[in-house]
Chain A
Amino acid sequence: MDRLTTGRSKAPPLIASAVRLHGRTLVTNLTFAIKTARLYSFAHSNVAAALNEFKESLSAFTSQAGSALHLLGMDDSLSLNEVRLKPDFSSAQSFQFILDLLKANDVGELSIQPAVGREELEALVTLFNTHRPNPDEPWTSFAAAAAKLQLPNIGLARTGERKASLLDDKNGRIITMGIYFKTISHVDAVLGAVRSRKPLHFRQLKHAIQTMVDITLCGEHVMLSLANVKGYGEPGSNHAVNVAIFSIALGLKLGLPKKHLGDLGMAALLHDIGKANLPEHLRSVGQHDVPSSDADAYASHVHAGMDALLSEHIAESCVRSINVALLHHYRFDRTGFPRLLTAKEQDLFTRIVAVADFYDNATTPQQPVRPAMEAERVMHSLLDGSGTEFDPIVVKAFVNLMGLYPVGSMVRLNTGELAIVLEPPTNPRFLDRPRIKLLSDSMGNPVEEFANLLDLDSGGRFRRSILKLCQMEQVQLDLGEYLTVI
């Protein structure tokens, strides 16, 4: 018995962003209802209010979506009616709570029909609060307990094969890759236009950035893994797109709304536009790799960026790009460049881009000067600059977003297995334990399965740990191989 009640309806007519909005509310309200019921009886006004709130948010969702609620738990993420939900910091705890609850009972899907009554909801909450999962057969015992209850409008299904199909969205991956490389070529074109003093056209860049935001809203992992591609296209273009990816993902993590993510992405994409006219050897390097003899020339790129963006027809959203282009090296403590006559605070976009810019520069090899820095070292450098060069809160959010091993990087486990980092860790207590996919077993035989680095062995120790990050250039991974494996 893998499914207690069926009744999956067709895809919701609501657009994905609306589903996500409802999703955050539903998950938060459900968490609150379950937690409150742990403290008080159902007769208590607090519990009644919490259940009412959940019921109201459920009705709002089902009436607009025209279907039942289908909440799907997949390892470290939740999906609502086929739309993957992305928690921001304010909803992260509720997401984790529901995920843990589902995982403990091996529940893969929770469906609630619009006609669900108060008694059923109380029964469901009681079930979650009182049932003691059997570690050996969590689903069997949970399903048996659920079967004893009258829950005609609530469906529960075991964690099953659906998650694989959702995770392995090959078409989605290819589209994402296509957008990534196309955006790089658009940036190439813009940089070329700056160099030849031709008018700049941002329309295609905007379409690309908005699509990147849409993809990130569905799940940032493919985008983040593409940001490991370095040095493709004209010097600086690949970096610009990577910074945009990191910035969008960080903005989303912080809770910025969709429109702002689009503007942030554009600002990130154009932050180094002023480098277009620098000598080639300075175009693709970060501030910390610039020889002192070139420091002045390098510093001029922020003003050059502003000049380039000051066309006669700039949109309001471009204004943010201009601010970012001018101030992304200004530093959080206002001691960077350019020197301003009146000290100003960097806006949030600039603070985000400054961190993303630093990270991508540091993780990009600067041949022949230095290899790519390991992500862990970069994080330490970011933390060193926290409060001086960077906004501490943005740094901390970024560390939470990325974890210690970048998505898409290959890692060697202490078991001898080889794996690829699939998604960043969702639990900030285990930043060195991202979601991974095994590529080979300890003998070197190819395998393809997901592994959870948080799984414990019988002795209470982690079953697997990451031993080493295999940088792309260290294992001589070419682009084709890399794109295959992510």
Chain B
Amino acid sequence: MLGTKVSQSKLNPGSARSARNGSGNATSQARGSQPVPATAAGAAVKELIRALGVAAKNYQLYPTHGRVVAQSLSALLDALNSALQAAGSPIEILVTQQDLIFREEIVYHEEARGTSLANRLHTDTVRKLTFVGGVTSDELTRLLGCFREARVSLEDGDDFSTIFWAKDIQHISIETADDFTTEEALALLPVSIDGGLSLDSERFKLSEAEETSLREALANRQETPQGDSTFELTPEELSRIQELISAEENYFPLYDFIDLLFEHMARSRDSVGFQGVVKVVVAILEKMIGSFDFEHALGLMHRLFEPRKDDPNRNQYTVMATVMQGLSNQETFAALGTFLKETPHLPHDHEVFRFMQTLGINALPNLCGLLTHVQHASAVADVLIALGSGCGDVFSQFLTSQDSQVARSIVQVILKTDRRNAVERVAQTLRHPDENVRLHAARALLEHGDERAAPFFLKILKGESGPLVLIAIQFFAKVASPVAFEELRHFIESKRFAALDNQRQELIFKAFVLANSSSAFRYLAEVVLKWRITLGKNSVRKKAAALRALALYREEPAIAILRRFSNSGISVFAQVARRVLDMIEHESPLAHGSARIMIPPGARPEKTHG
């Protein structure tokens, strides 16, 4: 009669009692740590309960679509199928305060109320749990959802059984101990219903006049056997009803609730009341975050802060902002961390990242901590970039993080959010103990291309580290830095230059020309290219690189030198010179595919004679 909610009297409490007191084995076993069922079916059901306990716990701690939950769900399904195979369908498990009992065998026993699955179910009025063959993974997920939601919902008026009821699971049912049994229902009736109805004809008598008028009215209705179609729903109305019902499936009432809340508060400018209301919203948000529902949490946050006609006054906004700060707490970031850990593949525009953005700048330090999730570091960095304009002080604390992933990401964040001090802040990282971080910072500064980084690269250029020096050369080949001219010349003259390959030698010359084009041209024309005797392979390479570097200096003196070399008898230099000339004439990219360097207007060379 009552579907899944059947009264306790319909169960057999005696059987539970006999299980605890009648069967010597079961009882004595139960007093130990865990019972050992005597039958194979009992053992299989015990394993099912164990798997259920594990899965319920994991479902509470981890995101629903994460690996841990998936594994425990699969284990639970396996255990259930094994139990159904061993015990047959249905599996009916009686629930007492400390035990779960299957066919008079105790399959679970726990006396500690706080951790007992039996006690939890019993407290929430569940007296029997039944599994029927055909349970799907989705149904088990919904069952696990009941355990999780029941834990946080007690004060909301929900318990396991009310939540279970709403899940409408087809192959799992519970029986509860609601006191709606016949005897108790009878006791609840305000009057006796044994008396019956007195059909005293006087009571129902119609006066003659009334009867006549009623009969006339009836005759006037002119009813036909086909009836009256006035109230039949038209096909359009039927489809409108179907639309309403399907819209209801997707309806999320909290959005409307937030709107109404503001309407409600607009009526009363009571900041204390408002504070209470905002606390309610925060509680709802916390619950969503706790259950990893970032999509709705995001929607709610947008709804809260979107411009509206009924904007609360300034005080109320202050209250709202203050209370909302409470959201950036450890629980929120623990949930975010767990979610990121458990879901390795998320698009950059996933709700969880957009939700992070709504947390405001106070959340920045905690958000930086999420950069440790390697797969999501780039997306989290994007969040920090969107949120942290001008927050270089906050970010720079993480530049020295021992976690190289964090430090590397923060470099990117700072460069994009703190234009004024970014270079100086990132440059600190060039002294990071981890070489990977140093390299990353150097590359980031190179990519950033800010001339203020020149002094820092100059120091590197003087240093010994190969990869870092190469990045410094690339930087100077990209950013005109007069301060680097002398150091570059020293480099060209040093043995380290000879150790570079052709491409990098050329890069040095590019940097050299860019640093001070006229002085560089003079040096190239009057020193390098005037070497009469080329001493070995290294000298030839250096001279050829110098010739190629003239392409950067497209003034007449450079072209004259190139022409001279192209007509010279030494074939290797003639070949290079012709190619460079050809390139200049056709405005084509330089050899080796690198882009032509544009000399900044301030660095135009003086006219000189080669």
A293 within 8 A of B: no
Q: Which of B112-147 contact A (CB under 8 A)?
A: 125, 132-134
Partner of A175 from the list B1, B199, B214, B259 (CB cut-off 8 Å) is B1
A314 to B223, CA, bound (A): 52
Q: 0/1 per residue, A363-395, Cβ < 8 Å to B?
A: 000000000000000000000000000000100
Smallest CB-CB separation from B268: which chain A residue? A303
Task: List residues of chain B with CB within 8 A of the CB of A21.
Answer: 170
The answer to whether A207 and B199 touch across the interface, beta carbons within 8 angstroms, is no
The answer to whether A467 and B225 touch across the interface, beta carbons within 8 angstroms, is no
A354 within 8 A of B: no
B603 within 8 A of A: no
A244 to B294, CA, bound (A): 33
**A214-B5, A306-B260 known; A201+B157 contact, CB < 8 A:** yes
The answer to whether B232 and A429 touch across the interface, beta carbons within 8 angstroms, is yes
B535 within 8 A of A: no
A10 to chain B, nearest CB (A): 12
B208 within 8 A of A: no
Task: List residues of chain B with CB within 8 A of the CB of A217.
Answer: 3
Smallest CB-CB separation from B251: which chain A residue? A347
The answer to whether A456 and B225 touch across the interface, beta carbons within 8 angstroms, is yes
A182 to B180, CA, bound (A): 9
B266 within 8 A of A: yes
The answer to whether A207 and B161 touch across the interface, beta carbons within 8 angstroms, is yes
Task: List residues of chain A with CB within 8 A of the CB of B248.
Answer: 256, 260, 348
Q: Which of B190-245 contact A (CB under 8 A)?
A: 190-199, 201, 203-204, 206, 210-211, 214-215, 218, 221, 223, 225-229, 231-233, 237-238, 240-242, 244-245
A232 to chain B, nearest CB (A): 7
The answer to whether B233 and A396 touch across the interface, beta carbons within 8 angstroms, is yes
Task: List residues of chain A with CB within 8 A of the CB of B225.
Answer: 456, 460, 462
Q: State which of A133-141, A276-284, A318-326 sits at the interface with chain B.
A: A318-326
B225 to chain A, nearest CB (A): 6
B104 within 8 A of A: no
The answer to whether A211 and B193 touch across the interface, beta carbons within 8 angstroms, is no
A182 to B7, CA, bound (A): 15
> Number of B interface residues, CB 8 Å?
99
B310 within 8 A of A: yes
A152 within 8 A of B: no
Q: 0/1 per residue, A457-486, Cβ < 8 Å to B?
A: 000101001011010000111111101110
The answer to whether A312 and B263 touch across the interface, beta carbons within 8 angstroms, is no
A397 within 8 A of B: yes
Smallest CB-CB separation from A486: which chain B residue? B193
B587 within 8 A of A: no
A327 to B264, CA, bound (A): 11
Partner of A397 from the list B184, B194, B201, B241 (CB cut-off 8 Å) is B241
A469 to B231, CA, bound (A): 21
A67 to chain B, nearest CB (A): 12
Task: List residues of chain B with CB within 8 A of the CB of A145.
Answer: none
Q: 0/1 per residue, A98-135, Cβ < 8 Å to B?
A: 00000000000000000000000000000000000000
Task: List residues of chain B with CB within 8 A of the CB of A179.
Answer: 180, 185
Partner of B228 from the list A201, A311, A318, A429 (CB cut-off 8 Å) is A429
Smallest CB-CB separation from B310: which chain A residue? A341
Q: Which of B243-274 contact A (CB under 8 A)?
A: 244-245, 247-249, 251, 253-254, 256-257, 259-260, 263-264, 266-267, 273
Chief secondary structure at chain A's binding surface: helix
The answer to whether B188 and A182 touch across the interface, beta carbons within 8 angstroms, is yes
A43 within 8 A of B: no
A262 within 8 A of B: yes
Smallest CB-CB separation from B1: which chain A residue? A172
Task: List residues of chain B with CB within 8 A of the CB of A164.
Answer: none
Smallest CB-CB separation from A342: which chain B residue? B309
B280 within 8 A of A: yes
B23 within 8 A of A: no
**A171-B182, A211-B178 known; A483+B245 contact, CB < 8 A:** no
The answer to whether A181 and B204 touch across the interface, beta carbons within 8 angstroms, is no
B40 within 8 A of A: no
B539 within 8 A of A: no
B277 to chain A, nearest CB (A): 6
Partner of A258 from the list B125, B166, B221, B267 (CB cut-off 8 Å) is B166
The answer to whether A14 and B170 touch across the interface, beta carbons within 8 angstroms, is yes
Q: Which of B158-192 contact A (CB under 8 A)?
A: 158-159, 161-162, 165-168, 170-171, 173, 176, 178, 180-182, 184-192
Across the A-B interface, the 5 shortest Cβ-Cβ residue pairs: A178-B185, A429-B227, A202-B157, A315-B156, A480-B191
19 contacts between A and B (CB under 8 A): A13-B89, A14-B132, A14-B170, A169-B1, A203-B158, A210-B5, A214-B4, A232-B190, A259-B166, A259-B168, A306-B260, A312-B280, A314-B283, A316-B254, A316-B284, A341-B263, A347-B256, A431-B231, A476-B203
Given contacts A319-B284, A399-B231, 15 further A-B contacts (CB under 8 A): A14-B170, A89-B241, A182-B180, A218-B3, A256-B245, A311-B280, A314-B156, A323-B257, A326-B264, A340-B263, A341-B310, A348-B247, A396-B231, A429-B232, A468-B206
